[in-house]
Structure 1
Amino acid sequence: MTTNKRILLYTAVLTLLLSVTGAGAVPPRELEYAYLNTQSGYLIVGREAHFEVILPEGASGYTFEFNTYYAEDRETDNQFMGIDRVKAQPEPTYVLTPQNPGQYFLEVIIMDADYRSLTLQSEPFYCYPEGSEADPSTLPGKVMEIAQLAENQGFTTQYDKALFLHDWLTHNADYDEPMTIHTPEGVLLQGKGVCESYALAYQMLLRQVGVTSQYVTGYSRGQLHAWNLVHLDGEWTFIDPTWNDPVGGGNEGYDYFGMTDTQLARDHDWSVGKHNPPAATTTQHNYLQRNGWAPFDSLEGLHELLAREMTAKNPQIKYTYTGEDRYLDVQYEIKKWLDNNAHIYFAESYSYGGSSYSGTMDVTYGDYADYTFFTDDESFKTAIDGLLKAKTRQIKMYYQGTDRFFDFGITLRRFLTDHAEEYGISTYSYTYYPFHGVADIEYK
């Protein structure tokens, strides 16, 4: 009995020690996610800004060190200096009250009891004098103005708010081709900026309407890049407003609105940098899929999609690739498929275009309801034999085989030349296209 009491006492003490020291906690770098959250898109001198480190539910046993850095100039990427440090504390929260206009950013070190750590770094926060929000010629004032436009729409979902703000950015700003404008003031006040400007501005606008967003950096298309991870109606999703706004203006799109990890990873890499964002796994916020673009996740899926839509004689086919193969060129694969199969579905003309992963195809179909169909030489001979024996005066035939080099004119002429006497043909004439044609026959 005494032994059992000692065991129970030892277990209780050990449990208490583990809860206090955090021993046994998941190493910070192995956490499913960890990110710094705030509802402040920009800072105002003298106004508190609250920050909190968000960890997976149940994660505990960590300490948090906050370091704040400041640079006086908002316009240039100059030297930052440390202005505040909160040594390791159990609370994952921090309050910043900026004293001067300029740029600020935070660095957070998450540490467990074994001194294993993960460092997170915030985006730059731009700070303005008190009263700036009332002046739309300043960034805070412009953010307030655009956010109010969104609120005036009466949207009931965060998706609709995020889409409205995305469209405002892509339709009112252009990519800065000299690549010199990096601040959010660029796209919001000057109408141009690079990816950093787009992503920071979008972040500010989203937070102003109550939508949680993270600023993500990494590489895309061989260059440094920035975009957003947005929490919409309970789910995380990636949005890249820069790549949705092509260089040169016009042709704004939605290829990068509402993407999952696997979709975005085809041409984005965020494995570097001081962030560990949550996973984006849902397609429910994908703009293209919500608006009629048919998804496919493999080359075979693309072929099935085209066959299905063209069998139904759909005059406009919208498609989007949701698979993981970054090297799949959708437009090239569509061209190859159409070269071999367009005639099978009576497509007289077609045009298509879009990005490497999605696009739209317009198709015009011919009416061949009164034609006789065949798929190879044998079925051609059988079909035309029946027509000629019936003394059909006008023969309409259509090839539906898979030989892209088939020439109906040569096949028809050769047969009529060789068998005119057999079927009592006196004269004939015909018009044809590669896969179909019409022959007028006179019999003796």
Structure 2
Amino acid sequence: MNNSLKVFEELESNVRSYCRSFPTKFTKAKGHKLWDVNQKEYLDFFSGAGALNYGHNDPNMKEKLIEYITDDGITHSLDMASTTKEKFLTTFNETILKPRNLDYKVMFPGPTGTNTVESALKLARKVTGRTEVVSFTNGFHGMTIGSLSVTGNAMKRKGAGIPLQNAVTMPFDNYMDHEFDTIDYLEHYLNDSGSGVEIPAAVILETVQGEGGLNTARFEWLKKLENLCERWGIFLIIDDVQAGVGRTGTFFSFEPAQIKPDIVCMSKSLSGYGLPFAITLIKPEHDKWLPGEHNGTFRGNNMAFVTATEALNYWKDPSFEKNVQENAKKITHFLNGMISKYPDMKGLRKGRGIMQGISVSKEGFSEKVAALAFEKGLIMETAGANDEVFKLFPPINIDEKALEEGFEIIEAAVQEVVEEKELVTS
């Protein structure tokens, strides 16, 4: 079958990105696999950039969704009450929040990650009466103006076309080195009336920076940041859009740090099925919105309520989370083994859970690994300011056989690039 991309080149904007990295026309997907129009099979170690943590077309979610559509269930309802919304709210509270001793109001800000971040920034400023927000180096929080203002990537920021204001960037954990305490650094700015840094409304961060290079905050660093925020009356916003929903081994990425953020931003895999869906979790004492003060036409995606509720059933079984953590250990073991086996790569393992990868400082190395992996039938992407990290994002519930198959393809790609580099330098 014709696999030409001519239509996309002629009719779609230059802004398209992933179709350049994965130059084929996909037609079918199931679990951890995709197929293109010529029936070539690919292992998916990309998972929709973290939007498909449970894989493609989960049979339980699909069955519930088909049943809902067939029964003429409500598709669009803004923020009106619906039975599907009621069921999601109840299930989320009983299955996720209560067992973790978390008390949050749930806001539906709009269907995307940047929608939830915008609502979080807006609410923090409204409640505190302050304007500034502290973000961190290499953080990524979305592509709308507010979210871009707290994003570190220079290329993405430039796309705004206007100055990005009311945000201050501070060094993330280990941005300098292991000895430099970046929380003390931040507090020094807050204490110094001559620093030029005002007391912010909020700090916003990812515990593992997905797009920024899989930089990982230590749990003690997160705990110290929470303490700083409590003492200064600053909102702590955790952006769990990509790192949440089991991607790091627990439902929320911040659970092992034993912190309780003021606001949590979630999207991507929350619907479980790849349907657009986002929520903003707000501590009840901060829920100072006036009715309709923040809204959006598609903040009530009832089909996403259906699949999201079904997805939460996985978390009722403790063995599900345990299996995710076992998969994470296998990925860690594989990556550490790769670094030892190919010392010329000079790789550094980054990330945690099932969002890990290897950072290689040699220019173009990781991009070449990802490109070769695609040729060999595996889809994965790169991350970091210079695309220096090739990252593994398979479904969190992938089976051991598929995981091992992916490892073999990645190693073959790495070996080929290492040998190419040796030839170039010899």
TM-score range, shorter chain: under 0.3
What TM-score results when the alignment is normalised by the length of structure 2? Answer: 0.23
Structure number having the greater strand percentage: 1
What TM-score results when the alignment is normalised by the length of structure 1? Answer: 0.22
Q: Which has the larger radius of gyration?
A: 1
RCO higher in structure (CA 8 A, sep ≥6): 2
